[in-house]
Amino acid sequence: MIDIKFLRENPDVVRENIKKKFQEHKLALVDEVIEFDKKARAAKQEADDLRANRNKLSKQIGQLMGQGKKDEAEKVKAEVNAQAERLAELEEQEKTCNEEVTKRMMTIPNIIDPSVPIGPDDSANVEIERYGEPVTPDFEIPYHTDIMARFDGIDFESAGKVAGNGFYYLMGDIARLHSAVIAYARDFMIDRGFTYCVPPFMIRSNVVTGVMSFEEMDAMMYKIEGEDLYLIGTSEHSMIGKFIDTLNDEEKLPYTLTSYSPCFRKEKGAHGIEERGVYRIHQFEKQEMIVVCKPEESPMWYDKLWQNTVDLFRSLDIPVRTLECCSGDLADLKVKSCDVEAWSPRQQKYFEVGSCSNLGDAQARRLKIRVKSADGNKYFAHTLNNTVVAPPRMLIAFLENNLHADGSVDIPEKLRPYMGGMEKLVPKH
């Protein structure tokens, strides 16, 4: 959510930003916000004047009563009572108008960074850089679930009976590999100075609306029936929510946290064959990283965050690239975002395995995450988040890039301590 003062003073900038986001249907919201804001401030000004006048009249009543002028005092009392009715009307008007302002401001997109490429959707995203040489094997690589099946590592049939489509059982070495990747990612981030955290896996609605747009919420979140609780779609939600309604000492910033959690997502809509299997599912686990920092430091942290993911994948010999998200592909709260994509030898192309975002002060403004400087100045923090690793998507890249023609899979040196020293997975089929 952008600053209402910024919108008042720069309505054309906000309109132009909406156009860059290809959301022309939201242009009318700017004028509506300005109008409701004007009415709210007018009501507040009149109410403040009435309160000041009431204080004067109350003093007059005391003076008149002290002078024995009871009739005159009663007249003044009647005037005060009449103003009280008007004051109640104005307070309700101010409240209603401010609610209308907030409702619209929650859907107006954040101001994007000038460096963001302009485009309507992810087809206009721009490759930044590649890391590692893509592998082109001289044998056919099976679909990732077929690779897992050779190790008796996945069971969709039983999961379908237990939970329905979009769920799975990971078994044996594949399940162990999944947990090993998570454990390695945890220690990787701890070694980079991040504080490890296991957060709540459910959050209240005020946190949900504080960290994401309504469109994202509808497409992603599962609500707990009869309670004000939602299952998290990513631990970023509860990790940023940790700082709700806080005033933080500037000298303690930045807060750098890495968190483990299961994630739950509706994943609405039909998807192609490449997004089936364990690519797009309703439940998965993830290691996340978040930063709460001073505004001037958020660009630096943005670059550090996506580099962490690149470095982790490269430490496991998986080729990756970074992709700058264009304006139309950015969620409304984001200032700037990039995806990290891993190489798929089977598809001969890259696919998304992580996303890094700078949200400016949008989440902090919604959740009231403020910072107090040494001189007493108060301002909103900037928040950032990035995926460290999200099995089982990571498993797809891992298995394809380490597969041999005989069906065995190499375990990179960095991961061996988490796999009991195993150097290779040998298929059972």
> DSSP per residue over 83-152, as a string?
HHHHHHHHHHHHHHHHHHHHHHHTTSPPPPPTTSPP-SSGGG-EEEEEESPPP--SSPPPPHHHHHHHTT
Structural domains counted in the chain: 2
Residue 234 to residue 217: CA distance in whole angstroms: 12
Give yes or no for a contact between 221 and 266, defined as CB atoms under 8 angstroms apart: yes
Give yes or no for a contact between 356 and 298, defined as CB atoms under 8 angstroms apart: no
Give the model's pLDDT for residue 281.
85
Identify whether 112 is part of a domain.
no
Element (H, E) at 56: helix 27-66
Give the model's pLDDT for residue 1.
81
SS3 106: coil
Instruction: Give yes or no: residues 245 and 302 share one domain.
Output: yes
To the nearest 10 degrees (0 to 180), the angle between helices 172-191 and 298-315 is 140
The CATH code of the domain that includes 71 is: 1.10.287.40
Pairing of the two strands 126-131 and 409-410: unpaired
Give the model's pLDDT for residue 273.
47
Residue 299's identity, in one-letter code, is P
Instruction: Give yes or no: residues 287 and 192 share one domain.
Output: yes
Identify whether 340 is part of a domain.
yes
Instruction: Give yes or no: residues 101 and 134 share one domain.
Output: no
β-partners of residue 222 are 231
Residue 422 CB neighbour total at 10 angstroms: 16
Instruction: Give yes or no: residues 77 and 128 share one domain.
Output: no
Instruction: Give yes or no: residues 140 and 248 share one domain.
Output: yes
Instruction: Give yes or no: residues 332 and 420 share one domain.
Output: yes
- What lies within 8 Å, CB to CB, of 320 at 6+ separation is 130, 131, 132, 309, 310, 313, 314, 340, 341, 342, 343, 350, 353
Segments in the chain below pLDDT 50: 270, 273
To the nearest 10 degrees (0 to 180), the angle between helices 70-105 and 27-66 is 160
Q: Which of 50, 77, 105 is the last residue of a domain?
A: 105
Give yes or no for a contact between 234 and 200, defined as CB atoms under 8 angstroms apart: no
To the nearest 10 degrees (0 to 180), the angle between helices 172-191 and 393-401 is 100
**Residue 278 φ then ψ, to 5°:** -110, 20
The CATH code of the domain that includes 404 is: 3.30.930.10
Angle made by CA atoms 37, 43, 44, in degrees to the nearest 5: 90
Identify whether 96 is part of a domain.
yes
User: What single DSSP character describes residue 345?
Assistant: T
Residue 119's identity, in one-letter code, is G
Give the model's pLDDT for residue 270.
46
Give the model's pLDDT for residue 299.
97
- What lies within 8 Å, CB to CB, of 20 at 6+ separation is 112, 118, 327
Give the model's pLDDT for residue 238.
96
Q: Which of 77, 105, 133 is the last residue of a domain?
A: 105
Which pair of tokens denotes residue 385?
């988040």
CA dihedral 296, 301, 302, 306 (to 10 degrees): 170
Considering only the C-alpha atoms of the chain, give the largest distance between any 2 of them, rounded to a whole number of Å. Answer: 107
- What lies within 8 Å, CB to CB, of 113 at 6+ separation is 335, 336, 358
Give yes or no for a contact between 320 and 313, defined as CB atoms under 8 angstroms apart: yes
β-partners of residue 283 are 264
Identify whether 401 is part of a domain.
yes
Can you tell me which residue has the tokens 């290779």? 424
Residue 101 to residue 4: CA distance in whole angstroms: 9
Which pair of tokens denotes residue 128?
């930044």
Instruction: Give yes or no: residues 84 and 143 share one domain.
Output: no
Cis link prior to 299 (omega < 30° from 0)? Answer: no
Closest CA to 267 of 224, 230, 221, 209: 221
Q: Which of 105, 130, 159 is the last residue of a domain?
A: 105
Identify whether 216 is part of a domain.
yes
Residue 33 to residue 222: CA distance in whole angstroms: 31
pTM of the predicted structure, to 2 decimals: 0.89
Instruction: Give yes or no: residues 81 and 129 share one domain.
Output: no
Domain, as residue range, for 267: 122-425
